[in-house]
Amino acid sequence: MQICFLQIAIDAPLDTLFDYRWILERDDAPLPQTGQLVLVPFGRREAIGLIVAVREDSDMPAEKLRDALEIRTQVPQLSEAWLDLSRFAAKYYQRSLGEVAIPCLPKKLRAPKSVSIDRALKKLAKEAALPATQPQPDAPELNGTQHAAVTAITEAQHFTPFLLHGVTGSGKTEVYLQSSAQVLARTPNAQILILVPEINLTPQLEKSVCDRFPETHIVTLHSGLAEAERLRNWLSAHTGQAQIILGTRLAILASLPHLQLIVVDEEHDPSYKQQEGLRYSARDLAVWRAQQLDIPIVMGSATPSLESWSHARNNRYKMLSLPERAVQDAALPTIRLVDAGRNQMVDGYTAAMLAAIQLRLERNEQSLLFLNRRGYAPVLTCYACGWVSHCPRCTAFMVLHQPDRRLRCHHCSLEISIPHHCPTCGNVDLQPLGRGTQRIEESLHTHFPDANILRIDADSTRRKGSAQAAFQSVHEGEVDILIGTQMVAKGHDFQNLTLVGVLNPDTALFSHDYRASERLFAQLMQVAGRAGRAAQKDGSESEVLIQTRYPQHPLYAALQAHDYGVFANALLEERQQASLPPYSYQALLRAEARELEDAIDFLEQAAKLARHPQVTVNDPIPMTVTRVANVNRAQLLLESVSRAALQAMLRQWMPQLRGMKTRVRWTLEVDPADI
């Protein structure tokens, strides 16, 4: 009988590894291996851990050691490269290795019983034995700039970060597909990872990839999958059976032993930043992973993030430009500004907007109205006494959802029936204030009673598959007027859509968030790009109408010129003068408590411990939405022009924070997306 000792990472907020004993009953029994999953007793429960090291002895006293229960030998061990990725993420984002490595695995892989794993592996074995019979279709011909981009990507033999900057409709997806085809042809067992920012974009991309690669094993990885399917897809990627992996941000932490190319589509999108648990940036980890594996990475966007744009200007990234639309005679839409202050509004529309929609209906063309605010109205109010529909649990308003006859808080999900009279003065004449997508839909039915109108937002697409069905109806021409939030703004190729109307975009111009103008520009350029993607008909013109009270704002001028470079360079100059990212680095400590004073007190104590000559520690302040679900929230911002200095301070600071005796819940976010 032989005994060895295992150092195991477990999903726990303790920055340490845990020692366990493993007894080999036979002399010829295989030794446990680094990267294997293991079931262990942990406290009063059983937990899945990851073997990080196998040793002949242990520093722990023998009486304190417990025996590991089972090693998941049916699952091939995770590679050392994957472990290094997890170690880097843990170190950079100031979490324990177990908090990174374990949660990114499928739930059924972390379950105490392994029946689901055995079942999934058997199904994968059957799929691998099925012969592929479909012929691969011919790829469309590329234009000059597309061909140059594909050539540059496929000729890169080592780590090369490419920023593929192309106008909307310039054929970035075709560049991804043809680059992937050449990589797969060159290296038969290669794996390619393609990331998209949101789940609702995966079906359209998956269809394009499956149509182009009918004989290639393709899987998707995102949180919307059923757990059994997610396990199967993860195992397919982990064993190398899947060659093309499509996914959202969680896919960057998947095990991909033969990875040869990474693509990050819409790389600017804030959805790549995880906002719960391990608050990582999938785009940043993708760049690190490509460098670790010495492979090329392609980051594509019509409106790159300022961080990526700055890297390209400084030659850290190689810029690839697609300045024209890929479809011949498909011109960029004309962007017109309609002064909402000088033109009379009817139900939230100017006469120019209504006339443009009517013209498209007469031409049998589609229109899209974009309003990034769901619900019927942002607030319900009483004009007699000034009462407004505050959420009793949050420092926010309850949004009116007229079709459901409900008031709903979008922060804590509290729902109540619409009151029959004012709770303060008894007035029965309560009125909606402002407009959401539901109210826009209602008024459009009044103005265009014969039109087929469809609303796509988080409320109308709650059921699984409903978003995909809704977008399919638009593609098939069953919809005349589409109303939507940011869900419709990117990635969708509507061939018959020639008008985009933007309603009420001005609020972001005056946000406290220094990233608001960058995000507004990206959002407007993306939604404008839904128009005119097909070749123009005779006499037809695609256009974007933006109703704004500030038509002289420089953001709109750059938008009209379709010139992201001018806008981005001006923003970078402002950021440099203010010493904001990407010219500085930030970390944000958030605290939650029943009483706001407790959260502020904790942050003040934490601030006294945060000492470094190159790190600025700002005063603790309440968060913008201070109270959510009766929990008060505050934050402490740390800044430095040196990433190394900030990381060094955080490494010293975190053990001190963990040692503080407090009932306050706190989290640390490195490179925060929202402040």
- Give the DSSP per-residue string, 202-265: HHHHHHHHHHH-TTS-EEEE-TTS-HHHHHHHHHHHHTT--SEEEESGGGGGS--TTEEEEEEE
Give the model's confidence band at 53: pLDDT under 50 very low, under 70 low, under 90 confident, else very high: very high
Q: pTM above the 0.85 mark? A: yes
Instruction: Average the pLDDT over 19-24 and give the result.
Output: 92
Distances (CA, A) of 512 to 108, 249, 509, 517: 42, 27, 9, 10
Distances (CA, A) of 342 to 190, 337, 345, 550, 551: 59, 12, 9, 11, 11
Instruction: Average the pLDDT over 239-243 and give the result.
Output: 95
Of 485, 179, 163, 458, whose CA–CA distance to 299 is shortest?
A: 163
Give tens-digit pLDDT for 437-495.
999 999 999 999 999 999 999 888 888 888 889 999 999 999 999 999 988 887 788 88
**Res 134 pLDDT > 70:** no
Q: Where are the beta strands (DSSP E) in 285-437?
A: 297-301, 318-322, 334-339, 345-346, 349-350, 366-370, 379-382, 399-401, 406-408, 415-417, 430-433
Place of tokens 């064993």: 239
Bridge partners (DSSP) listed for residue 280: none
Classify strands 244-247 and 37-42 as parallel, antiparallel or unpaired: unpaired
Q: CA–CA separation, 219 vs 211, rounded Å?
A: 14
Give tens-digit pLDDT for 542-562.
999 999 999 999 999 999 999
Q: Is the dihedral of CA 214, 215, 216, 217 positive or negative?
A: positive
| Residue 334 near residue 544, CB atoms below 8 Å | yes
Of 321, 267, 340, 261, whose CA–CA distance to 294 is shortest?
A: 261
pLDDT at 539: 56
DSSP structural state of residue 46:
E
| Residue 191 near residue 243, CB atoms below 8 Å | yes
Instruction: Average the pLDDT over 116-137 and give the result.
Output: 79
Instruction: Average the pLDDT over 262-276 and give the result.
Output: 95
Lowest pLDDT segment from 258-267, 280-289, 508-517: 508-517
> Is 440 buried (19+), middle (13-18) or exposed (0-12) by CB count in 10 A?
buried
**Res 15 pLDDT > 80:** yes
| Residue 485 near residue 373, CB atoms below 8 Å | yes
Classify strands 259-265 and 297-301 as parallel, antiparallel or unpaired: parallel
**Res 133 pLDDT > 80:** no
Give the model's confidence band at 538: pLDDT under 50 very low, under 70 low, under 90 confident, else very high: low
Helix H or strand E encompassing 4: strand 2-9
Classify strands 631-640 and 621-628 as parallel, antiparallel or unpaired: antiparallel
Please give the angle made by the CA atoms of 621, 626 and 632, to the nearest 5 degrees: 95
Q: CA–CA separation, 635 vs 620, rounded Å?
A: 6
Residue 400: partners with Cβ closer than 8 Å, 6 or more residues away: 375, 376, 377, 378, 379, 380, 389, 407, 418, 432, 436
Give the model's confidence band at 325: pLDDT under 50 very low, under 70 low, under 90 confident, else very high: confident
Q: Where are the beta strands (DSSP E) in 96-175?
A: 161-166
> Is 437 buried (19+), middle (13-18) or exposed (0-12) by CB count in 10 A?
buried
Bridge partners (DSSP) listed for residue 666: 591
Q: Is the dihedral of CA 159, 237, 172, 356 positive or negative?
A: negative
State the chain's mean pLDDT as an integer: 93
Question: Does residue 581 have a cis bond before it (omega within 30 degrees)?
Answer: no
| Residue 53 near residue 17, CB atoms below 8 Å | yes
Give tens-digit pLDDT for 178-226.
999 999 999 989 999 999 998 888 888 898 999 999 989 999 999 989 9
Give tens-digit pLDDT for 505-517.
998 888 888 999 9
Helix H or strand E encompassing 632: strand 631-640
Give tens-digit pLDDT for 395-427.
999 999 998 899 999 999 999 999 999 999 999
Burial 60-92, CB ≥16 within 10 A → b, else e:
eeeeeeeebeebbeebbbbeebbbebbeebbeb
Tokens of 621: 């302040």
DSSP structural state of residue 484:
E
Q: Is the dihedral of CA 611, 615, 616, 620 positive or negative?
A: negative
Three-state DSSP at 1 gives coil
Helices (H) and strands (E) in the chain, counts: 17, 31
Burial 227-259, CB ≥16 within 10 A → b, else e:
eeebbbbbbbbbbbbbbbbbbbbbbbbbbbeeb
Tokens of 535: 């070749």
pLDDT at 125: 85
**Res 27 pLDDT > 80:** no
